[in-house]
Amino acid sequence: MLRKIKVRDIYSCATSYDKIKSQQIIESLYTDFTPWEGLLDFDSTLRAPNGKTIELRNDPAMIVGVANFQGMDVAIIAQQTPGNAQERRARNYGLVQAHGYGLALCMMRYAERYGLTLHTFVDTVGGDPFESSAADLQSWLIARCQARMLDLKTRSVSTIIGQGGQWWRYRFAVGPSPLYASPLHLFRHRARGMRSHFISQRQ
């Protein structure tokens, strides 16, 4: 007899440290991953409507780069949440900062320029709430990410791997048919060990 799945079970798995994270999926499914810093022609500057030039830096809660997937180069934008209690501060508790949204926006632009399919992995705890991100125009960058995903001129595949319900996911998962990976499936998948493939389930 199938066990009735309760909402609290799904939430517990979606927020668990033991759930598979974006980094593990990338290491398992992709080869030759190159982070954005290693892309010679990756433009990491943005000009805001107020004339401010934003020089982007790395965000510990975001993975942005290019990799090979089954013989094809693809662009990757992935949210990375902490894998254990010790990583919480290093990963900024999984809270994406203004620079992370800016890097995602630049990667969308990069994918369009080179005709790369964009793969996004959504695991959204939330946006960084601190003044430094507000000063770097985080609200504007979030809005630009949403608008760019709506008007993206290349193919995209978005997969929800944990948290990311309601409007939060639309920063990186606007598209005709996003994929959803069951949090319970991911939790059990991690418990059995990594495989050479990853199964996503359409909802």
Question: Comparing C-alpha atoms, which of 78, 156, 150, 164 is closest to residue 121?
Answer: 78
In which domain, by residue range, is 77 found? 7-192
Three-state DSSP class for residue 42: coil
Q: Is the dihedral of CA 124, 129, 92, 17 positive or negative?
A: negative
Whether residue 116 is contained in a domain is answered as: yes
Share of the chain above pLDDT 70, in %: 72
Residue 164 phi/psi, 5-degree rounding, is: 150, 25
Residue 203 lies inside a defined structural domain of this protein: no
Tell me the pLDDT band of 6, cut-offs 50, 70 and 90: low
Which of 200 and 119 is assigned the larger pLDDT?
119
Judge whether residue 176 has pLDDT over 80: no
Asked if residue 199 belongs to a domain, the reply is no
Residue 162 pLDDT? 77
Q: What number is the average pLDDT over the span 117-143?
A: 85
- Domain-embedded: residue 148: yes
Which domain CATH number covers 84?
Answer: 3.90.226.10
Q: Is residue 174 part of a domain?
A: yes
197 within domain boundaries: no
Residues 17-46 pLDDT 10s = 677 889 999 999 999 999 999 998 999 999
In this prediction, residue 35 carries a pLDDT of 97
Grade residue 106 by pLDDT with cuts at 50, 70 and 90: very high
- pTM score: 0.78
The structural domain count of the chain equals 1
158: confidence class by pLDDT, cuts 50, 70, 90: confident
Look at residue 73 and give its three-state secondary structure. Answer: strand
Q: What is the mean pLDDT of residues 185-191?
A: 44
123 domain-assigned: yes
The answer to the question of residue 2 being in a domain is no
